[in-house]
C-alpha cells in the first residue's frame, strides 16, 4: 500500500510538470528548532542523490525521476525539464550543480551533461566521453569558467572542458584506501566543493579534507579527532576484517552554507551500529575551526543542503526530505 501511494504521488507531481555574514566565531546550538511535530517539515519522495539551494529555492535530483524545484517550505513549484529519455528530456540524474543561473545535470542514461535554465527550460546537451565513468557522479562536482571538475576512472581529480574535447589539466591523486585494513573494499571517491579560490576535496573513506589552489595541494585538514570521525575510525579498527565486500564509507556528503561560510559534513558514525546521520560544522573563515557536531533524527541520510541555517537532509529509510533549523549565533 505504501508503494502504491508513493507511485501515485510521483505520477501526480510529474504530471503537473545575498549578503554574506562576516564573523570571527560562533556559538553553536545543536538542538533542532522543531515547529511542527517530529520534524519542522518533511516531504515524501523517492531516491534523491543531490540537493541544492539557490536563492531560496531547493533543487532536488531524484535518480530515476528527474529534477524538482521546491520552495524552502517543501512545497512543489515545478519540474526542471521534461522527464523521459527522448531529445531534451532527462531521466537518470545522480548529481546537479548550478553555475551562473544555469543548472548542470548529469544524465547517466544519455552519458551527457544537460543544461537548463533555473526556470526549467532546456538549453543544451553535452555528451561526455567514455573516459568519464558514471561512478564519478555519485559525488559533488564543480562547474567553473573553464569546465567541470570531477573524478574519473583513474581516480584522478581532473578538469574537463564542457564540450569534452580533451582534458584541460592533468589530475592530482585521489585519496588512497586504508592500508591497515585487510581485504576491505573502498571506492576512493570524493566530493568536490569550491570556496573562494580554493577547491575542497572530501574523500568518502578518509577523515580529512584536502585543499587545492591552482591545481596544487596547499593544505590538509585532519578530522580524525572530531567526535563523529573518531567513532567511525574506532568501528573500522575493531571490524577491519569483514571481508572483500566490506565498504568503509566515512563521508556521505558535504555542503557549504555560503551565507555563513560554514562547511557541513554528513558523515557515518557509531561504534556498534554505524549510521550516516552525524553532521559536523567547520568555520571556513577561521582555518576550518571545528564548531561542533550533532546527529539527525533518523538512521541513514544520503545528501544535505544548507542555506542561512535552514538545513535539509534526505532520509533514505523513510524516503523523505527533512527540514531543520539550526541556530548559530556570534559570541
Per-residue pLDDT tens, the chain, 331 aa: give them: 544 444 434 444 444 453 333 334 445 555 554 333 334 456 667 789 899 999 889 999 988 788 889 988 888 888 888 887 788 888 778 889 999 889 998 887 777 888 899 888 999 888 776 666 666 678 898 888 777 787 655 555 566 665 544 444 444 444 444 444 444 445 567 888 999 989 898 888 888 998 988 777 899 999 999 988 988 888 877 776 554 455 678 899 999 998 889 999 999 987 777 889 999 999 999 999 998 888 888 889 999 999 987 899 999 988 889 888 887 765 4
Confidence (pLDDT) at 36: 35
Burial class (CB in 10 A: 0-12, 13-18, 19+), 310: buried
Cα separation, 225 vs 216, in Å, equals 26
Query: Cα-Cα-Cα-Cα dihedral of 256, 61, 14, 123, to 10°?
Result: 90
Burial class (CB in 10 A: 0-12, 13-18, 19+), 2: exposed
Cα separation, 263 vs 254, in Å, equals 7
Cα separation, 260 vs 19, in Å, equals 10
Name, in order, each residue with C-beta under 8 angstroms of 11's C-beta and a sequence gap of 6 or more.
none
Of the candidates 120, 212, 125, 136, which has an alpha carbon nearest to the alpha carbon of residue 164? 125
| CATH (one of 3.40.50.1820, 2.30.42.10, 3.30.70.20, 2.40.128.630) for 48-174 | 2.40.128.630
- List, by residue range, all CATH 2.40.128.630 domains of the chain: 48-174
Confidence (pLDDT) at 79: 87
**pTM, two decimal places:** 0.82
Amino acid at each position: 500500500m505504501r508503494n502504491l501511494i508513493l507511485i501515485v504521488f510521483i505520477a501526480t507531481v510529474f504530471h503537473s510538470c545575498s549578503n554574506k555574514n562576516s564573523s570571527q566565531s560562533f556559538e553553536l546550538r545543536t538542538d533542532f528548532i522543531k515547529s511542527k511535530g517530529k520534524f519542522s517539515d518533511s516531504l515524501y519522495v523517492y531516491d534523491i542523490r543531490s540537493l541544492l539551494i539557490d536563492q531560496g529555492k531547493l533543487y532536488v535530483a531524484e535518480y530515476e525521476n528527474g529534477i524538482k524545484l521546491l520552495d524552502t517550505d517543501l512545497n512543489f513549484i515545478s519540474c526542471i525539464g521534461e522527464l523521459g529519455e527522448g531529445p531534451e528530456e532527462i531521466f537518470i540524474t545522480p548529481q546537479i550543480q548550478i553555475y551562473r543561473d544555469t543548472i548542470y545535470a548529469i544524465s547517466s542514461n544519455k552519458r551527457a551533461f544537460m543544461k537548463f535554465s533555473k526556470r526549467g527550460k532546456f538549453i543544451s546537451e553535452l555528451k561526455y566521453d567514455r573516459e568519464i565513468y558514471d561512478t564519478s557522479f555519485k559525488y559533488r562536482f564543480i562547474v567553473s569558467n573553464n569546465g567541470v571538475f570531477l573524478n574519473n576512472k583513474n581516480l584522478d581529480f581532473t578538469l574537463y572542458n564542457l564540450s569534452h574535447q580533451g582534458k584541460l589539466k592533468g589530475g592530482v591523486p585521489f585519496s588512497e584506501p586504508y592500508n591497515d585494513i585487510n581485504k576491505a573494499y573502498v571506492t576512493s571517491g570524493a566530493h568536490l566543493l569550491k570556496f573562494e579560490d580554493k577547491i575542497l576535496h572530501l574523500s568518502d573513506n578518509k577523515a580529512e579534507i584536502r585543499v587545492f589552489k591552482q591545481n596544487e595541494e596547499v593544505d590538509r585538514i585532519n578530522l580524525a579527532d572530531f567526535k563523529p570521525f573518531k567513532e567511525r575510525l574506532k568501528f573500522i579498527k575493531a571490524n577491519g576484517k569483514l571481508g572483500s565486500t566490506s565498504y568503509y564509507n566515512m563521508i556521505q556528503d558535504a555542503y557549504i552554507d555560503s551565507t555563513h561560510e560554514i562547511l557541513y559534513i554528513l558523515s557515518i558514525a557509531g561504534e556498534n551500529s554505524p549510521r550516516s546521520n552525524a553532521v559536523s560544522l567547520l568555520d571556513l573563515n577561521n582555518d576550518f575551526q571545528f564548531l561542533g557536531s550533532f546527529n539527525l533524527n533518523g538512521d541513514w541520510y544520503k545528501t544535505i543542503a544548507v542555506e542561512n541555517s535552514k538545513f535539509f537532509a534526505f532520509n533514505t529509510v523513510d524516503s523523505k526530505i527533512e527540514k531543520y533549523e539550526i541556530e548559530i549565533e556570534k559570541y
